[in-house]
């Protein structure tokens, strides 16, 4: 039981040291980037988004980076290139040197998404119309056969004559 308490105490100390370091270095950075995998502080950020059929792929290119990871021997690294399909939150921490959040973010992502979704909708509508046309053609070919009409007419006649006999 003592070992688990020691381990929990060690983890708590690491977490506290990490939070203190974060508070100390926070003012040195221009952007805070939060992904599902990690939190980054950086001074240069370029982000691109590549829409795929069922997901978005975000590419993050960061320089002068601090990584929130308590197991790393050094958290400050010169650059990081991250790929993720999860949500990405970007916060501009300070103004300066013409650096702007809009310049760091991908341009035209919404337009790309709308175009991609519009193309997918058109393809789905085209496939649905083709399926309806095929179904109507199949129904029409089975309903217009002479055998189907004569057999249903014969059944109706047999029923009527059977009723008359009773």
Q: What confidence tens digit (pLDDT) does each residue in 49-93 have?
A: 888 878 889 999 999 999 998 888 889 999 999 999 999 999 998
CB-CB contact of 41 with 26 (8 Å): yes
List residues bridging with 58 in a β-sheet. Answer: 49, 84
- Residue of higher predicted confidence among 110 and 21: 21
pLDDT at 159: 45
> What pLDDT does residue 98 have?
53
pLDDT of residue 144: 54
Q: Using alpha carbons, list the distances in angstroms from residue 23 to 17, 77, 99.
A: 10, 18, 22
Confidence band of 161 (pLDDT split at 50, 70, 90): very low
Determine contact, residues 32/40, Cβ cutoff 8 Å: yes
- What is the model's pLDDT at position 96? 66
Whole-number average pLDDT of the chain: 78
Residue 150 is predicted with a pLDDT of: 47
pLDDT of residue 35: 93
Cα four-point dihedral sign 33, 39, 41, 44? negative
Strands (E), the chain: 31-34, 39-51, 56-67, 76-84, 89-92
Please state whether the predicted TM-score (pTM) of the whole model is above 0.75.
no
């Amino acid at each position: 039981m003592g070992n688990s308490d020691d381990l929990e105490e060690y983890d708590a100390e690491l977490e506290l040291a990490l939070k203190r370091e974060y508070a100390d270095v926070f003012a040195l950075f221009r952007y805070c980037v939060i992904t599902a995998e990690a939190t980054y502080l950086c001074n240069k950020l370029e982000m691109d988004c590549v829409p795929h059929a069922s997901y978005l792929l975000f590419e993050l290119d960061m320089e002068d980076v601090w990584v929130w990871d308590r197991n790393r021997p050094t958290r400050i690294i010169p650059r990081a290139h991250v790929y993720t399909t999860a949500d990405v939150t970007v916060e501009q921490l300070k103004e300066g040197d013409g650096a702007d959040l809009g310049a760091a973010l991908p341009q035209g992502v919404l337009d790309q998404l709308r175009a991609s979704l519009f193309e997918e909708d058109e393809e789905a509508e085209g496939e649905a119309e083709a399926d309806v046309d095929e179904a109507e053609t199949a129904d029409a070919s089975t309903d217009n056969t002479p055998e189907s009409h004569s057999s249903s007419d014969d059944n109706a006649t047999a029923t009527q004559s059977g009723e008359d006999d009773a």
